[in-house]
Amino acid sequence: MADDAGNTAVVLLREIAAGGGKKIGHATLNAEKALNALSLDMVRALDAALVRWAKDASVACVVIDGAGDKGFCAGGDVRFLRDASLSFKGVGPNPQAEAFFAEEYRLDHRIHTYPKPVMVWGGGIVMGGGLGLLAGASHRVLTETSRIAMPEITIGLFPDVGGSWFLPRMPGRAGLFLALTGAAINASDALYLGLGDHLVATGDRGRVLEALTRATWSTGADDNRSRLTFLLREFSLRKDAAPESNVRKHADAIARMTEGATLAEARQQITGYTGEDAWLKRAAAALASGSPTTAALIWELRRRAQHLGLADVFRMELIVALQCCAHPDFPEGVRALLIEKDNKPKWTPATQEAVTAAWVEEHFTAPWSALANEVSPLADLGRP
């Protein structure tokens, strides 16, 4: 696939003429074979386009989607991050990991706070970094094929890209359950949890884009948000066109499993599930075999993020992400799951009981504090 200039690019960028003398900014993640997994080049291209379109008065709204129908975005390039982690021998933050996470989080924050309507087409696989792009959009479109997850418990990372912000805002403790288990959810789940706004048939993507170009847009962002909402409602499927919501179906069980006052209690309740439901069994098994450090970080992030604003959440997540790259579990988890694929990670520490408060605190210590005159690359985020 090529962009407007005929060039093959990691992100295809188009400006499509629309009604009212306006244009639609259209960005397509262009790595179909990799399920559009985010690279740093993709992050930079998309962020630059959003900055440009925000300033361009002729652009009424923005559409972000992914090449092909199998997935919007399967997450960040964790192989690259693992290689960067293993090769870095210096002091302070890993420069490659710092660039990736800081620029990715800045992009996610920009989408959350964008001055114009942003529609993200979340069909197919939406995981990790892909969910970071979807979650902050003003108009989040799901399809009957949407499969969403933050499975970082399996690779020794944590649900980042703002997960510490949007997961606790889900009904009850569903967000905590999803973070600890990495359980996959469908479009019905996402609508119930507030992670999506519209359910549209996969095959209607082209028709929706065509309808956007026919619509008459105004100069007011609020008017255009309302116009986009009205347009998407015309394509909305009945809720029963999507699979049954596992989260809604098991809401009572999830509440019981996560009601403990400590991580140890919640872990025991989840991993001790003895029923026959396949979705809950997979969730329990994922936590049982997942990184004990990740579970502890999820629990602590939930506590620390409780009273933080969005920008402060991203600043905190950046510290924890860089520390994960500097600690053993992330490179080991990626090795076991994606490199050698033996699915036998050797976690450090190996058990939940062995994860100490001091070990967790290390992950919340800013890595640039070891360097003179170094500050967070997100220090200015959300500030004038």
Residue range 205-251, pLDDT digits in tens: 999 999 999 999 999 999 999 999 999 999 998 767 778 999 999 99
Contacts of 127 (CB under 8 A, 6+ apart): 73, 74, 75, 148, 149, 150, 151
Contacts of 207 (CB under 8 A, 6+ apart): 235
What does the pLDDT read at residue 183? 98
Residue 5 lies inside a defined structural domain of this protein: no
Q: Which two tokens stand for residue 226?
A: 């309302």
Tell me how far apart the alpha carbons of residues 56 and 305 are, in angstroms, rounded to a whole number.
34
Query: Of the listed 66, 71, 76, 122, which one is catalytic?
Result: 76
Tell me how far apart the alpha carbons of residues 319 and 324 are, in angstroms, rounded to a whole number.
9
Residue 379 lies inside a defined structural domain of this protein: no
The reply to whether 160 belongs to the active site is: yes
Residue 198 lies inside a defined structural domain of this protein: yes
Closest CA to 35 of 166, 176, 161, 147: 147
Residue 318 lies inside a defined structural domain of this protein: yes
Query: Of the listed 152, 189, 197, 329, which one is catalytic?
Result: 152
Sign of CA dihedral 152, 98, 43, 336: negative
Per DSSP, helices labelled H in 246-365 are 246-249, 251-257, 263-271, 278-289, 292-304, 310-326, 329-334, 357-362
* Percent of the chain's residues with pLDDT above 70: 97
Residue 377 lies inside a defined structural domain of this protein: no
Tell me how far apart the alpha carbons of residues 3 and 159 are, in angstroms, rounded to a whole number.
32
Number of domains in the chain: 1
Query: Of the listed 128, 129, 130, 175, which one is catalytic?
Result: 129
What does the pLDDT read at residue 179? 98
The per-residue pLDDT for range 131-157, each reduced to its tens digit, is: 999 999 999 999 999 999 999 999 999
The sheet with strand 59-66 has its strands ordered as 11-17, 23-29, 59-66, 118-122, 139-142, 198-199
Global pTM reads 0.96
Instruction: Identify the band that residue 116 occupies on the pLDDT scale cut at 50, 70 and 90.
Output: very high
Query: Of the listed 77, 98, 104, 160, which one is catalytic?
Result: 160
What does the pLDDT read at residue 369? 75
CATH number of the domain residue 215 falls in: 3.90.226.10
Residue 4 lies inside a defined structural domain of this protein: no
3-state secondary structure of 95: helix
Do β-strands 125-127 and 71-73 pair in parallel, antiparallel, or remain unpaired? parallel
Q: Which two tokens stand for residue 228?
A: 């986009």
The reply to whether 152 belongs to the active site is: yes
Residue range(s) defining the domain that contains residue 178: 11-370
Q: Is the pLDDT of residue 2 over 60?
A: no
Residue 140 lies inside a defined structural domain of this protein: yes
The per-residue pLDDT for range 40-90, each reduced to its tens digit, is: 999 999 999 999 999 999 999 999 999 999 999 999 999 999 999 999 988
Residue 322 lies inside a defined structural domain of this protein: yes
Q: Which two tokens stand for residue 15?
A: 């400006």
Q: Which two tokens stand for residue 78?
A: 């964790």
